[in-house]
Structure 1
Amino acid sequence: MLKLSKYCIASEPFGDFASGDTKHVLLSGRTGEIRVIGAQGWDLLSAPDFSGNDLPGDLRYELMSIEALVPEQEDELTVILDRNRAAQEDTGQFYLVIQPTASCQLGCGYCGQAHTSQKLDDLDTDRLVTMVSEKLETGRFEHFQVGWFGAEPLNALSKIYELSVAFEKAAAKAGCSYGAKVVTNGMKLTVPTALKLAREAGVRLVEITLDGDREFHDKRRFTKKNQPSFDRIYGNLLKVATHPDIDFQINIRANVDEHNVEGVFALIDRLASDGLQERIRFYTAPVHSWGNDAHLQAVELARYAKWELNCLAYLVNRGFRSGLVPNRKNVVCMAAMKNGLLVDAYGEAFDCTEVSYVPAYGSDNTYKIGTLAEGIDANKRKIFSEYLGNVKSGELPCASCEILPICGGSCPKQWNEGLTPCPPTKLNIRGRLLLHYCASKIREEIPA
């Protein structure tokens, strides 16, 4: 006997003008696979007395293959959590985030970090290289991924280049591949810097934050001397994105709250007018707590979910290829990775990117799990790593949520701090499915 997976989500019905049939877009959250099914088939699937025998054989086998249909007695929550736990234990990847400096030119109001001129010193640099080499030499990893993060990592370019040479050498010696990404405010991302990052630091992805068009961005992401930053950042972006010898992926992120929600579409228009649709990936994220009260300025979730859907539709209309339907998420974030680590400019270690340099967590940071000098305390990693058990026990509401497989449980840190980090996808996933279908049809009809 079979049952419809509780993680199978169907869009609202829509009319297919070509065939005249009524259909649904179907997402199997367990695998991330998407299918289109006729209304009659969906009615059979969603009937209270459904057993699987009423479906045509080819449809039944197809739905079984994507795990939209599962054994009737299967405990689906346990299956999902077991898979996630296994993925967290062994990803085949060592993911190291490095904050080479604690400095940043900007004074963004929603940032919870305290910035200083501190840079990773030579002694901790040597310790970091030794730690990486020893870890890679165990032979357990197929890939070594580095994320350069801030404060503003490009304020320590010489340290990035120095460490990149050592890391690439260590990876080659261990027989694993190497890659890097940079999250930057964009102030120092000039063409010469971008070329050197790609050629000498193995950078394959760069992410830049723009919080709307100039009018909105400059009210939020100004320099510490209270000067605007948009023109400089956007000028750098445009030169780098259109340079023929720079091919790393570029993501543009807009942090959205009540103060700039009206300014995002104008930024999309600017990016489109400059012909960047095929060159960049654009996405938005609601502003959240970073050890501060930034989340109090957030757009209310239901309104944000509706706005986000309109934003995604606008991106499609303007020719961007945005992620419309989330993929299966076995590992929610670095905090859940057994082999994920962040090291800051003071040589302190964490398993989350949103806790270092944050005064709210105390002078001896609550979330610190060790130092390069003294090593890592494995017991302190359990603050985040055991959150799947909290999902299983029902302590977190994720246990009954239909998007758990594609959300992963959201942010363990925010749950730990008593906040509710449910993503807008929870409220707009059905609209996203329809938009995904429409976007795929648009692309099919546009001649190459």
Structure 2
Amino acid sequence: MLTVSRYLTISETDFTSAQGVALRPAYLATTGRLYMIDKDTAEALNDESGFERKIRPDVLEDLIDAGAVIPDSVDELEVILEENRRAIAENRTRTFVIMPTSYCNLGCSYCGQAHTKATLRGSHRSGLVRRIIGEIESGCYDGIALNWFGGEPLMGYANIRDIARQIVPLAGDRGLSYWSQMVTNGVLLDARQLDTLYHDCRVSFFEITLDGTSHDLLRPKKAGGESLDHIVNFLSWAVRQPQYEDLRISIRTNVSPANRGEAAEFARTMAERGLGHDKVSFYAAPIHSWGNDISALELGKTAYGNVELEWLQAYRDAGLNCPSLVPTQRKKIVCIAMQTSAEVITSSGEVFSCTEQPLVPGYENTAVGNVSSLRIGRRPAGLYETWNDEISSGNYSCATCAILPVCGGSCPKAWAEGNPPCPATKFNLSSKLDMYASTHGFERP
């Protein structure tokens, strides 16, 4: 017996091809692929009861090959979760997320961190380097990733430079692949720093937040003054320098009631100022809680689902690079908290399993150790490594969600706090399918 995949979503909107065939857009989350399915087949699949008899044999065979129709003996949820577990177990990249300082030069109202003027130094810094070197020399991994986070990591620029200069050559000598990225507000980034970060520290990917045209109001500098113009001018210059061939920049906009209507103006401005470049991509994200109360600053899930469509359309209209309408790849490892081969190290040498624990009030005691005392090897288990088992047990609604394969559950910590972190696609998938059809030449009758 056959059944329709629980991860197949079909729009209820009819479209017509150039040949006059009635079609409906569909999305299969197990593969991240979009399809146009003829209306009769779509209705048969939605009805489910006896659908095999209502679908042409050749079409049914195609649906089986695609994974949209499967044997009813298959437990799709367990297949997905087991693939996730296997990906975690087989991952051979050792990841360190390093917070070189606990301070930030911006005072964003939605930030969940409590910043202090602490910098990685002394025994904590030497312990961190010793730990990374020990893992490189362990022979257990094929790759090493150093990701810089904060606070604002560039306020600890000297630490970044000095640590990376010790690690990069050693990784190369041991034949390990090396990857480095940075999440930064971009305020302190200049030509001298970028040159060192790119060439010496091998940081090739930067994520920078620009909160729309209201950026300077929403992300004020603690010392006063504005930052948007400086950041945009510098990025526009940087992406045009031939010596940074592999440089990639992702620009994130945290969307709130304060800037939700700025999509078109912001996108147009970014394009006019030179960021419609192959090295730059844009995406919008809702403000979310890190355990702090941001209820006055966030949009509801359904409301944000509608707003995200506006931002995606604005990016496209302005000629900016932006994500595909729907996720196109499986998310088998949802975050670093899933795997003991990944850890966060703070400026005080504490080791955490999750990036949203350090500096966050209420999570001070969730560290799994300190670099000064932990033995070389994988970190101790944190709070979230059993996430796939939690889903399997039905403890969270992810178990019945149609986009689980490409979402992975988004954020175990948020679920544990009672703040479901479901992505916008859960709420606007049908609209995205219709947008896909409209932008690919199919018309509504």
TM-score (norm 1): 0.91
8 Å Cα contact 1:13-1:39 kept in structure 2? no
The 1:52–1:131 alpha-carbon spacing in structure 2 relative to 1, beyond 3 Å, is: farther
The yes-or-no answer on 1:338 pairing with 2:340 is yes
Q: Tell me how far 1:88 sits from its aligned partner.
A: 2.0
Q: Tell me how far 1:359 sits from its aligned partner.
A: 2.9
Counterpart Cα distance in 2 of 1:209 and 1:188: 13
What aligned pairs does 1:107-186 form with structure 2 within 5 A after superposition?
107-186=107-186
Q: Tell me how far 1:56 sits from its aligned partner.
A: 4.3
Q: Tell me how far 1:440 sits from its aligned partner.
A: 5.3
Counterpart Cα distance in 2 of 1:115 and 1:136: 31
Q: Tell me how far 1:294 sits from its aligned partner.
A: 2.0
What aligned pairs does 1:290-439 form with structure 2 within 5 A after superposition?
290-323=290-323, 324-326=325-327, 327-361=329-363, 365-375=364-374, 381-439=381-439
What aligned pairs does 1:63-102 form with structure 2 within 5 A after superposition?
63-102=63-102
One-letter amino acid of the structure 2 residue matched with residue 32 of structure 1: G
Q: Tell me how far 1:302 sits from its aligned partner.
A: 0.8
Structure 1 stretches of at least 4 aligned residues deviating more than 3 Å after TM superposition: 50-62, 376-380, 436-442
Greater displacement, 19-28 / 103-112: 19-28
225, 239, 242: which one aligns with 2:240: 242
One-letter amino acid of the structure 2 residue matched with residue 434 of structure 1: D
Question: Secondary structure of the residue that 1:25 maps to in structure 2?
Answer: strand
Counterpart Cα distance in 2 of 1:435 and 1:346: 48
Question: Secondary structure of the residue that 2:333 maps to in structure 1?
Answer: coil
1:285-313 per-position Cα deviation (integer Å, ceiling 9, x unaligned): 11111231124421111111011112212
State the structure with bigger RCO (CA 8 A, min sep 6), 1 or 2: 2
1:114-151 per-position Cα deviation (integer Å, ceiling 9, x unaligned): 22222111422222222222223333322212211111
Q: Tell me how far 1:341 sits from its aligned partner.
A: 0.7
8 Å Cα contact 1:291-1:355 kept in structure 2? no
Q: Tell me how far 1:260 sits from its aligned partner.
A: 1.9
**Matched length:** 437
The yes-or-no answer on 1:231 pairing with 2:232 is no
Counterpart Cα distance in 2 of 1:210 and 1:222: 11
Q: Tell me how far 1:154 sits from its aligned partner.
A: 1.2
Equivalent residue number for residue 222 of structure 1: 220
Equivalent residue number for residue 16 of structure 1: 16
One-letter amino acid of the structure 2 residue matched with residue 325 of structure 1: V
8 Å Cα contact 2:4-2:48 kept in structure 1? no
Question: Secondary structure of the residue that 1:385 maps to in structure 2?
Answer: coil
Greater displacement, 201-210 / 90-99: 90-99
Give the gaps of 5 or more residues in structure 1: 443-448
Q: Tell me how far 1:83 sits from its aligned partner.
A: 1.1
Q: Tell me how far 1:168 sits from its aligned partner.
A: 1.7
1:347-397 per-position Cα deviation (integer Å, ceiling 9, x unaligned): 011111112112343xxx132111101227989634111122221222211
Q: Indicate the RMSD between aligned Cα atoms, in angstroms.
A: 2.2
Q: Tell me how far 1:426 sits from its aligned partner.
A: 0.6
One-letter amino acid of the structure 1 residue matched with residue 334 of structure 2: V
8 Å Cα contact 2:236-2:274 kept in structure 1? no
Calculate percent identity across the aligned residue pairs: 33
One-letter amino acid of the structure 2 residue matched with residue 342 of structure 1: V
Counterpart Cα distance in 2 of 1:378 and 1:91: 12
Counterpart Cα distance in 2 of 1:320 and 1:50: 46
Question: Secondary structure of the residue that 1:106 maps to in structure 2?
Answer: coil
One-letter amino acid of the structure 1 residue matched with residue 267 of structure 2: I
8 Å Cα contact 1:3-1:50 kept in structure 2? no
Q: Tell me how far 1:59 sits from its aligned partner.
A: 3.4
